[in-house]
Amino acid sequence: MLHTALLTLTLLAAPGAEASKPATNGRCPVLGNPVADRNQAVALHGRKYYVCCGECESQLTASPDKFLTEDGTPKNSTSAQSGGKVRDHY
């Protein structure tokens, strides 16, 4: 019993994976569709990103450099994208 308690305390005290920074993007990094906190989030490189659908989650996870700059900013987060136009992937 004591051994189990010590093991549990050791596991709880051990440093775990760092928590990802919360998502702040207002547009899907893949398609540019509007997103909000109700959308699913993808954690990459210690940061979360909202995506508009499961397909975008797969694409972002498979090729993050295609959609994110070196500092982690979505490449489509320009002022032109914030004007309400939504890109279509078809």
Q: End-to-end distance of the chain based on CA atoms, in angstroms?
A: 60
Global pTM reads 0.66
pLDDT score for 20: 82
* pLDDT for 18: 57
Percentage of the chain beyond pLDDT 90 is: 57
Alpha helices in the chain (DSSP H): 2-13, 54-62, 64-67
Q: What is the C-alpha separation between 33 and 75, in angstroms, rounded?
A: 13
**Stretches in the chain below the pLDDT threshold 50:** 3-16, 79-90
